[in-house]
Amino acid sequence: MAYNEFLADRIRLVLAEKSVVYTEKKMFGGLCFMVDDKMCLGIVQEEMMARIGTEQYQEALGKEGCKEMNFTGRAMKGYVFLEPEAIDMEDDLAYWIQLCLDFNPLAKASRKRKKKNEG
């Protein structure tokens, strides 16, 4: 399952313009952008996954092209999927990325897994 490389390049450009330090990690069959070692946003196929937090969640769902993120049969609160038309314009993409970046300092990092040979 591939992800949209053009969208990845657009996201990289916005992050670079904002001087954001990030790393990329392949996961969920897509690409995740990590900021401060926390999942910030990503791409799954043609859609952008945005980690925006619970305070922005309900309002975001009211915007065109935004839908709840659902991997396991139930919605993951604080995460949304953005359909291509929601992020087609550069200003729209920058808006959603900024929501993710604004939430990132409040987000909890996932626990690091110990390697088999560790303690």
Domain coordinates in residue numbering, the chain: 5-106
**pLDDT score of 27:** 85
pTM for the full model? Answer: 0.88
Alpha carbon distance 82, 118 (integer Å): 39
**pLDDT score of 14:** 98
Question: Which residues pair with residue 25 across a beta bridge?
Answer: 32
**pLDDT score of 115:** 57
pLDDT in tens, the chain (119 residues): 589 999 999 999 999 999 999 999 998 789 999 999 999 999 999 999 999 999 999 999 999 999 999 877 888 889 999 999 999 999 999 999 999 999 999 998 776 665 555 54
Q: Domain 5-106: give its CATH architecture.
A: Alpha-Beta Complex (3.90)
Q: Encoding tokens for residue 43?
A: 């791409």
